[in-house]
Amino acid sequence: MASKDSNGTVYECSGPEHAPVIALIHGLGLNRQTWRDHEPEFARNYRVLNYDLYGHGESTPPPVKPTLSLFAEQLRDLLDHLNIEQCAAVGFSLGGMINRRFALDYPGRASALAILNSPHERGAEAQKAVEERAAKSAAGGPGATLDTTLKRWLTPKFLATEPDRVEEIKQWVLANDIDIYAQCRWVLANGVVEIIRPDPPLTVPTLIMTCENDTGSTPAMSHSISSEIAGSQTIIVPQLQHLGLLEQPELFTKPVLNFLDQLFF
């Protein structure tokens, strides 16, 4: 059953109450249902905190213009609300930027990071393309570039054979407020600048994953993130695209659990 904290964040908890905590952070335009196929496995041995970002799903709109630091603060406040001192922050896409910001802003609160399909330094041409897509979202709302976006997110096979799942993802995105979605897309487009080559560097145990054919969060980006976090691990999932964790969730759940189990058990 979902609950809501005093800031308007809607969340659910599952798994053993006194086990190490995993916080699940979804991506832009999505919601906590992103983790539906992962959560049962995570919850076997971990306390799982799954929540909606401000302006997404059932959570309240952001109290101020969204930034990575605002979303990091949202997680900190939710942990405080639940009397949780530390969590392993598992973030997808924008969520993988938020968990890095969280670890930088609140030292000691992240016991581990899993950064999944998350962007990093893009280069001038790619950065321009991302900013142009963000501008189109501002002009036309979440649906403005959605069909093109889905072709970047999902494989042709999945688009052809899983129409109900594709429609569900569409509806998640279309449910977003036009202005808030545009603001959050701008955070995704520009927020990477503030988490590149952090000083002091992150020292949290970290797993970085992406998919071979993810054009927005490329294998090269994942290796670049890894190069900035000493001792981190990198896994490239073959063939899939940006939403590989929805197409084949087990290819993400198992490596994340293997990584965490080595730390906690």
Which is higher by pLDDT, 212 or 189?
Answer: 212
Domain assignment present for 130 = no
Quote the percentage of the chain above a pLDDT of 70: 98
The alpha carbon of 164 is separated from its chain's Cα centroid by a whole number of angstroms, namely 23
Token pair recorded at residue 73: 């603060």
The answer to which of 31-35, 109-113, 186-190, 204-208 has the lowest mean pLDDT is: 186-190
User: In this structure, is residue 70 part of a structural domain?
Assistant: yes
CA–CA separation, 150 and 170 (whole Å): 8
Mean pLDDT of the chain: 95
Q: Does 222 map to a domain? A: yes
* Within-domain flag for 175: no
So what's the pLDDT on residue 212? 98
> CATH number of the domain that 10 lies in?
3.40.50.1820
Calculate Rg over the CA atoms of the chain.
Answer: 17
pLDDT tens by residue, 34-60: 999 999 999 999 999 999 999 999 999
If residue 43 lies in a helix (H) or strand (E), which one and from where to where?
none
Q: Is residue 12 part of a domain?
A: yes
Region for 8 from its dihedrals, namely left if φ exceeds 0, alpha if ψ lies in -120 to 50, beta otherwise: left
**CB under 8 Å to 112, separation ≥6 — which residues?**
88, 89, 204, 205, 206, 207, 259, 260, 263
pLDDT of residue 165: 98
Question: Contact at 8 Å (CB) between 89 and 113?
Answer: yes
pLDDT tens digits, one per residue of 90-141: 999 999 999 999 999 999 999 999 999 999 998 878 778 887 777 766 666 7
For the residues 76-103, what does the mean pLDDT come to?
Answer: 98
Cis peptide before 249 (omega within 30 of 0): no
| Domain enclosing residue 85, as ranges | 3-122+192-264
Kindly state whether residue 177 falls inside one of the protein's structural domains.
no
Query: By mean pLDDT, which of 117-131, 137-151, 210-224, 235-249 is the weakest?
Result: 137-151
User: Rounded distance, CA 241 to CA 152, Å?
Assistant: 7
Which of 69-83, 130-144, 177-191, 232-246 shows the lowest per-residue confidence on average (mean pLDDT)?
A: 130-144
Determine if the pTM surpasses 0.85: yes
Task: Give the three-state DSSP class for 147.
Answer: helix
Mean pLDDT of 18-24: 98
8-state DSSP, 241: -
User: Which is more confident, 125 or 186?
Assistant: 186
Provide the pLDDT for residue 140: 67
Tokens 């052809």 -> residue: 160
The per-residue pLDDT for 200 is 94
| End-to-end Cα distance, the chain | 28
Question: How many domains does one find in the chain?
Answer: 1
The amino acid sitting at 262 is: Q
pLDDT at 129: 80
pLDDT at 126: 79
pLDDT at residue 128, rounded to an integer: 81
Residue 252 belongs to a domain? yes
Taking the CA atoms of 129, 239, 28 and 202 in sequence, report the sign of the dihedral they define.
negative
Task: Give domain status of residue 22, yes or no.
Answer: yes
